[in-house]
Amino acid sequence: MGKLTLTICLIFFIFFNDAACLTPRYSAIVMDANSGAVLEQEGADKICHPASLVKIVTLYMIFEALKTGQLRIHTQIPVSAHAARQAPCKLGLRAGEYVSVETIIKGLITKSANDASAAIAEYLGGSESNFAAQMTRKAKSLGARSTVFKNASGLPNPYQVTTARDMAILSRALYLHFPRDYRYFRMQAFRHRGQIHRNHNHLLGKVPGLDGIKTGYVAASGFNLAASAVRKGPDNRPKRLIAVVLGGANRHWRDQRVAELLEVNFQRVGLGHQPSVKEEDEEDGDDFEVNQFLREETNRQRASKALIRPIPISWPSSSSKSSNQAEADEEQWGVQFGTYSSLNEAKLRAKKMLTTFKTGEISTPKVAKGKKSFYGARLLGLTKQQAKTVCRKYASKNGECRILAID
């Protein structure tokens, strides 16, 4: 009887803890990158899913392998069938081809390429699962004690968990241990096979001093962002802050919240609204021309516009192109089939759509409209073409649906 009771308790413990993580939970932290001191926090130790913030440690492992000589920047990495079939976002790597370490680094940072993540994981770890175990050990050795990795990309896995505090610790470690390699995070885009892939970190070039680090999204995590910014202090030395937000309701709210956290905490130390500081050894890298073009384009578009604004794209619409359409083309996509007064109704609709279209990932976020709350029925994690196809088929029989740009 004792063993049976213990087994039942264990099952309930796993179920309820896992169920809690499946609902995005907001948490945030701001850390001084130099001292490690926590300047502000809210629920910083809540267990949540990291999504593509996993790639912070994937990149740490790459930079470490470069430092030890296990890798060279131009080492050619083979692409397996497993790597090639990873879900978007991806570079479109083909099984049997080879890709350089530098291309993988740039692909992870800008495109958040899951195929590139899997390829380097297999090369360094023998398999992606072995590499994920190595990542977990590395994270714990750096002080991220609540973090467990199950893959190198951040694609959905119920047992892949972290906290805002851990992600700040890992972001800080990456910067402190590899300051020269950290320059890659400043890239607003890079060119691969003639195509320009834009960075999913939309705060680059918009928040003074912000120069990295990583976005993330899956339905279970909500919208995540670890960001770092540097400004010159009263002692004429650069002062760097790291802000992490997990479980944001949408991309724009997440970005705005990170921008606010950084600005407020810079103001507290007398560095509000300071210009960017270019630190020693920072370079623009091989994609200087691409990034310069994007900076100029961003400056033109930003004239008299707010820091963050939504991308209104819906179907059917004769004017679905926006000034940010080119940027949106590089992001993950989703479809919303309407809003419902009850969570159960939204879940039933989303499940029916998943059964009908057999693609995507269910999400039923709470949406406030005035004093009332509704629940959206969504399929997320689609490519642009999948989202358009799904919406077209749905709209032909059921009326209007909405395409969502996410990252």
Residues acting as catalytic residues: 52, 55, 112
Please tell me the total number of residues recorded for the chain in this structure: 407
Residues 6+ apart with CB under 8 A from 263: 207, 272, 273
| CB-based contacts of 296, cutoff 8 Å, min separation 6 | none
Secondary structure of 74-98 in the HEC alphabet? CCEEECCHHHHCCCCCCCCCCCCCE
**Sign, CA torsion 136/138/139/144:** positive
The secondary structure of 285-353 as a DSSP string is: -TTHHHHHHHHHHHHHHHTT--SS------BS-TT---TTHHHHTTSEEEEEEEEESSHHHHHHHHHHH
372 has which bridge partners? Answer: 369
Q: At what angle are helices 55-68 and 114-125 packed, to 10 degrees?
A: 40
Evaluate whether 294 touches 198 at the Cβ level (below 8 Å).
yes
